[in-house]
Structure 1
Amino acid sequence: MSSRLRVLSAALALAVTGGLLALSGQAASAAVTGQITGLAGKCIGSAGGNTANGTAIDLYSCVGGATQQWTFPGDGTIRTAGKCLDVASAGTADGTKVQLWDCNGSAAQQWVYSSARDLVNPNANKCLDLAGNSSADFTLAQIWTCTGGANQKWNAPTGSTPPTNPGGFVVTEAQFNQMFPSRNGFYSYSGLVTAMGAYGQFAKTGSDTVRKQEAAAFLANVNHETGGLRYIVEINTANYPHYCDWGQPYGCPAGQAAYYGRGPIQLSWNFNYKAAGDALGIDLLGNPWLVQNDAAVAWKTGLWFWMTSTGAGSMTGHNAMVNGAGFGQTIRTINGSLECNGANPGQVQSRVDAYNRFTQILGVPAGTNLYC
């Protein structure tokens, strides 16, 4: 576990901007139209073949109707009859209706299609779901917490390019899987993409090369912290009771041993859970287990540190990459004197090796100032 997490304070908590960025700047791939099939080989379409705003989406036998034909234009939306697949009122609760609505570029109309055949709305971090696990004709579609159940599995039109990187994330799901071939399934690509909605400037600042370098730098450091995204929680359980600072006015409401390292940056100490939770609008002080149980929350804590904390250095990881300071400064921010200035060259080299590998996967140069 890295030392910088011991020295952060609640003063680091910063306001974050919500919502997923619009995709108007993303180049659309060639649109492909076809049916989306689910349980029992049946298709989803607009109820009764209607096209009015608010028309429910339901499951029924594939009859080839116009509103069972869906287009993936490559901008994160899914369309039929000139309208978009939409989560009613941008809702996030289990059971929220999925409907047709005029395309408006909102987060309610963004979808991620994963390699596991889930269709996820990142705004809600929930899956397109068939109510009651039913395959009966006219079963309504809704969003629901992703369970991996058959009622949440979908086959996209053959030859389509489903929206696997909404918001134009410079790392595709295939590249992510190449970077982390042995990763724990908890660290999902969709969880990372969802988390990015909280920090709209991550991997979105500067040229395409700079954006890819920043993504590679963040993921390389995460790779080092988690053993290639294999470890969700700190391995040494003997350390668990050590991360409660009773000098803080809010104490340790989740318990003396509740604030051990979790997630992609191994967030630890009660004051860091408080700071990250305040910034993200999540009660991590009271429920630190969210970081090990919810992939999107885990990724958000990593991005919170990357985007807002100078840690043991003089700049955030984000600023180091977008302002040309180089990858070495991100190492200094993360672990400072424990690794830099010759303190632990092996650890530094491990991070640099991962960064070089990831920039090669993304097809960009690593740049200069790789070491600290």
Structure 2
Amino acid sequence: MKTFVLVLLCLSSLMGALAQGGVGSIISKSIFDQMLKHRNDANCPANGFYTYEAFIAAANSFGAFGTTGDTDTRKREVAAFLAQTSHETTGGWASAPDGPYAWGYCHKQEEGNPPDYCVANQQWPCAPGKKYFGRGPIQISYNYNYGPAGRAIGSDLLNNPDAVANDPTISFKTALWFWMTPQTPKPSCHDAISGRWRPSAADSTAGRLPGYGVVTNIINGGIECGKGSNPQVEDRIGFYKRYCDLLGVGYGPNLDCYNQRPFA
């Protein structure tokens, strides 16, 4: 019995060391809980779903996430990822307890009776009877995203899209797949926030410069960017600033995309 307990303790220490060497060295469980303060609120449909352990496990499967660049760059990437996904899953409102930016990760899927989000696609055909509405931190949608995301993370999401709303590690992995994967002509969110992306002359002319704002452009530029100040972009920035403050890091340049033209 003593030997068994000793083995468990050693495994626990090893897992802790592995976490501390990756994203776990940037964001502790206590800070994660402060950031997503009301994610387990009884009024949140995702109550109990999004765990720190699932986030770390998913993050560690994408080796470059939160490990690229100096410490400040790594902190900003984690803050940016959690901020953008908090906006997508928010349950906050202007006068919410602790402020609107303490209510990220309140939802794990679209509520009500969402459409199928199924479009004709030979490579990623829809499975009979399955719906591909928004699920998980990034609210992944459409069969042409569920298919490649599932292939990348080793899960058949075309035939089982509900896994994104039922397995928290898979859920985080789909969001991180989107974050880490460039979709031409867009760079990946990871490259944009970690300093690996260099804007072309056309990007510069379009106002697309490195910083948090271009990440918003990558995610939803066609709707939110190049239109001046708007509540959606303000909300994304609000989450980001709060998370950077909790991580003790500066915000970096170019927070908004108000004057950025969307990617083609």
Summarize the Cα distance change of 1:317–1:250 in structure 2 as closer, same or farther, 3 Å threshold: closer
Letter in 2 for 1:205: T
CA drift of 1:197 comes to 2.3
Q: How many residues matched?
A: 223
Q: Which has the higher strand share?
A: 1
Structure 1 gap ranges (5+): 1-43, 47-56, 59-66, 71-77, 80-84, 87-108, 113-161
Q: In structure 1, what is the Cα distance between the partners aligned to 2:61 and 2:232? A: 30
Residues 221-259 of structure 1 show CA distances to partners (whole Å, capped at 9, x for unaligned) of 01000011010111241x322x1113435522152x521
Residues 19-48 of structure 1 show CA distances to partners (whole Å, capped at 9, x for unaligned) of xxxxxxxxxxxxxxxxxxxxxxxxx631xx
- Structure ID, larger Rg: 1
Summarize the Cα distance change of 1:164–1:198 in structure 2 as closer, same or farther, 3 Å threshold: closer
Q: In structure 2, what is the Cα distance between the partners aligned to 1:318 and 1:168? A: 14
Letter in 2 for 1:328: G
Summarize the Cα distance change of 1:332–1:214 in structure 2 as closer, same or farther, 3 Å threshold: same
Number of the residue aligned with 1:305: 178
Q: In structure 2, what is the Cα distance between the partners aligned to 1:231 and 1:270? A: 20
Number of the residue aligned with 2:138: 265
SS of the aligned residue for 1:111 comes to helix
Number of the residue aligned with 1:286: 159
1:240 paired with 2:115, answer: yes
SS of the aligned residue for 2:173 comes to helix
Letter in 1 for 2:109: V
Number of the residue aligned with 2:215: 330
Letter in 2 for 1:319: D
Q: In structure 1, what is the Cα distance between the partners aligned to 2:123 and 2:69? A: 41
SS of the aligned residue for 2:157 comes to coil
CA drift of 1:344 comes to 6.4
1:351 paired with 2:236, answer: yes
Number of the residue aligned with 1:175: 31
Q: In structure 2, what is the Cα distance between the partners aligned to 1:367 and 1:235? A: 34
For the 8 Å contact 2:89–2:107, the answer to whether it is kept is yes
Structure 2 gap ranges (5+): 40-46, 91-103, 197-209, 258-264
For the 8 Å contact 2:22–2:67, the answer to whether it is kept is no
What are the equivalent positions in structure 2 for 1:64-143 lying under 5 Å apart?
78-79=9-10, 85=11, 110-111=14-15
Q: In structure 1, what is the Cα distance between the partners aligned to 2:57 and 2:14? A: 11
Q: Which has the higher helix share?
A: 2
Q: In structure 1, what is the Cα distance between the partners aligned to 2:79 and 2:155? A: 27
1:314 paired with 2:186, answer: yes
For the 8 Å contact 2:109–2:136, the answer to whether it is kept is yes
For the 8 Å contact 1:338–1:344, the answer to whether it is kept is no
Q: In structure 1, what is the Cα distance between the partners aligned to 2:223 and 2:68? A: 30
CA drift of 1:337 comes to 1.9
> TM-score, structure 2 length as denominator?
0.77
SS of the aligned residue for 2:2 comes to strand
Q: In structure 1, what is the Cα distance between the partners aligned to 2:225 and 2:136? A: 23
For the 8 Å contact 2:193–2:211, the answer to whether it is kept is yes
Q: In structure 2, what is the Cα distance between the partners aligned to 1:344 and 1:235? A: 28
Number of the residue aligned with 2:77: 214
Q: In structure 2, what is the Cα distance between the partners aligned to 1:168 and 1:278? A: 23
Residues 143-185 of structure 1 show CA distances to partners (whole Å, capped at 9, x for unaligned) of xxxxxxxxxxxxxxxxxxx987563521111111111111032
Query: Which residue of the other structure, out of 196, 221, 235, is the alignment partner of 2:59?
Result: 196
Number of the residue aligned with 2:126: 252
Summarize the Cα distance change of 1:249–1:337 in structure 2 as closer, same or farther, 3 Å threshold: closer
Summarize the Cα distance change of 1:344–1:248 in structure 2 as closer, same or farther, 3 Å threshold: farther
Q: In structure 1, what is the Cα distance between the partners aligned to 2:69 and 2:120? A: 42
- Root mean square deviation of aligned Cα: 2.4
For the 8 Å contact 2:23–2:56, the answer to whether it is kept is no
CA drift of 1:302 comes to 0.4
For the 8 Å contact 1:254–1:287, the answer to whether it is kept is no
**Displaced runs of 4 or more, over 2 A:** 109-112, 162-169, 246-251
Q: In structure 1, what is the Cα distance between the partners aligned to 2:173 and 2:193? A: 19
SS of the aligned residue for 2:110 comes to coil
For the 8 Å contact 2:23–2:66, the answer to whether it is kept is no
CA drift of 1:284 comes to 0.7
Summarize the Cα distance change of 1:194–1:271 in structure 2 as closer, same or farther, 3 Å threshold: same
> TM-score, structure 1 length as denominator?
0.56
